[in-house]
Amino acid sequence: MEVYILGILVTITIFALMAISLDLLVGYTGLFTIAQAAMFGSGAYASAIVSLETGLGFWGGAVAGIAVGAAVASLASIPSLRVSGDYLVLASFGVQVVFHGLFLNLDGVTGGPAGLRGIPRPSLFGWSIDSPAEYLALYLAIAVVIVAVLRRLLASSFGLLLQAVREDELVPQALGKDVLRLKIKIFVLSGAIAGLSGSMYAHYITFVSPESFDVHASIFVLAMVLVGGMGTTWGAILGAAILILLPEVLRFLPLPTMSMGPIRQIIYGLILIMVCFLRPRGLIGGRS
């Protein structure tokens, strides 16, 4: 039982980081996008490829993941500089689909639909990370550091500026702030964190394949941010925890095996709707 629970906690840690990265865009800056899985996936693949080709292991892979995630995000930021609101959603969706297509079709690089396997597990000063408990310790440490740095950053004038842009772009512009640079910066930051969480994912599952990084995954992360509460780091973490725990809890419902799959999905959808009615500002009550 412990192994199972620890495994879930590791998954929550990874997705919490990804949710936080999306919240930077959606919650803090008001940039509604559904391309997070593209950055997550790019980071995962980059990390996998680098560690498989060069033998640099998790740490080298993580650097690659951060770099590639940031690069993809800067690409994804381009539409946001031209359009906003609903158009941005569609544009980000387009980016998501294009990247998923790359993961699926660039056989030589990504292994195509078969994916990449045998991704090395992390090792710390010669100590190999094997069990969920060890993974949790390492990943939690990484996450804590990232969150601490972020919170410091968001509490500063940078964070205030983001929120000003969210409320009304014209105001900071009128005050002479370079909103364009700001948007690019926040995308790059978001992409870097998403890429890092992708790398962590790759080295935990030790296997990456395109179906983990499609539009459904992006929507999944978006749901985490909304359910938890936008514009608060704790909201993103809570949202990740709940949306990952929910299907796990549903496993324990005694259901006939044949219809179990669709029934769980239905319950999942109903709970999402319920949250929209009962706690529309998210469980933590972030900004609406």
Partner 1 sequence: MKTITKLLASTLIAGTVAVGSTVASAAEITVGLVAGLSGGGAQIGQWMVQGAETAIERINAQGEETTFKLVAEDTQWNAQKTVEAFNKLVSVDGASIILVGGSSPLQAVAPLADQQDIILFNIGAQSPAVAGIGRNVFHALQLSDVDIGVMAKYAHDELGLRKLGVMYVNNDTGKFTQAEFVDKFKAAGGEVVAQEAFNQNDSNFGVQLAKLSAAKPDSVYLVGTPAELPFAVKQARQIIPDVNIVSYAGIESQELLDAAGDAANGIVYSTTYFDPKSDAEQVRMFVGEYMERYGGEPVSPYITYTYDAMTILARALSKTGGEAGTALRDKILDIRTFPVITGDTVFRDDGTVVKAIAIKEIRDGAFALRKVIDPQ
Partner 2 sequence: MELFFQLLINGVYVGAVYALYGLSFALIFAPTKVWHFAQGGIYVLAGYALYSFNVILALPLWAALVLAIALTSAAGAGCERLLYRPLVNRGVSHMVVVMASLGLFVVIENSMDLVFGPSGLSLRIDPQTPWLVSGVVIMPIQIIAPMVALAITGLLALMLYRTMAGREFRAAITNPELLEINGISVSRIKLYAFAIGSAILPVAALLLISGGSGVSPTVGITAVLTGAMAMFLGGVDSPLGAAVAGFIIGIVENLSVFVLPTAWQVSITYGILLLVIMIRPTGLFGRAVQKATV
Q: Which residues bind partner 1 (CB under 8 A)?
A: 1-4, 7-8, 11, 104-105, 112-115, 117, 130, 132, 201, 205-209, 211-212, 242, 245, 248-249, 251-254, 257-258, 260-262, 264-265, 278-279, 283-285
d(CA 152, CA 164): 18
Instruction: Please say which residue, 154 or 267, places its beta carbon nearer to partner 2.
Output: 267
Site string for partner 2, 29-48 (x = CB under 8 A): ---x----------------
Instruction: For partner 1, give the closer residue by CB, 177 or 281.
Output: 281
Q: Token pair for residue 27?
A: 């919650």
Inter-residue contact 143 to 17 (CB < 8 Å): yes
| Among 26, 142, 193, 202, interactor with partner 2 by CB under 8 A | 26
Phi/psi region, residue 163 (left: phi>0; alpha: psi -120 to 50; beta: rest), is: alpha
Query: Given the structure tokens 């998210």, which residue do they identify?
Result: 282
Q: Which does 115 bind (CB under 5 to 8 A by kind): partner 1, partner 2, none?
A: partner 1
Smallest separation, CB 140 to partner 1 (Å): 18
Q: Are strands 127-128 and 123-124 parallel, antiparallel or unpaired?
A: antiparallel
The footprint of partner 2 on residues 82-111 (CB under 8 A) is 82-87, 89-91, 93-95, 97-98, 101-102, 104-105
Minimum CB separation of residue 182 from partner 1 in Å reads 33
Q: What residues between 175 and 214 interact with partner 2 by CB under 8 A? A: 179-180, 183
Q: What is the footprint of partner 2 within residues 136-175 (CB under 8 A)?
A: 169-170, 173
For helices 179-205 and 157-167, the axis angle rounded to 10 degrees is 110
**CA-to-CA separations, 49 to 114, 167, 267, in angstroms, rounded:** 14, 41, 38
Instruction: Report the phi/psi class of residue 84: left, alpha or beta, with left for phi > 0 and alpha for psi in -120 to 50.
Output: beta
Q: Is residue 249 at the binding interface for partner 2, with CB under 8 A as the rule?
A: no
3-state SS assignment for residue 270: helix
**How far is residue 85's CA from residue 168's CA, in Å, rounded to a whole number?**
12
* Partner whose footprint covers residue 81, from partner 1, partner 2, none (CB < 5 to 8 Å by kind): partner 2
Question: How many Cα atoms sit within 13 Å of 157 on the Cβ side?
Answer: 2
Q: Which does 170 bind (CB under 5 to 8 A by kind): partner 1, partner 2, none?
A: partner 2
Six token digits for residue 213: 């990084």
Provide, rounded to whole angstroms, the least separation between the CB of residue 105 and partner 2. Answer: 5
d(CA 62, CA 150): 18
Q: Which positions lie near partner 2, rule CB under 8 A?
A: 26, 32, 78-87, 89-91, 93-95, 97-98, 101-102, 104-105, 169-170, 173, 179-180, 183, 215, 219, 222-223, 226-227, 230, 259, 261-263, 265-266, 268-273, 275-277, 280-281, 288
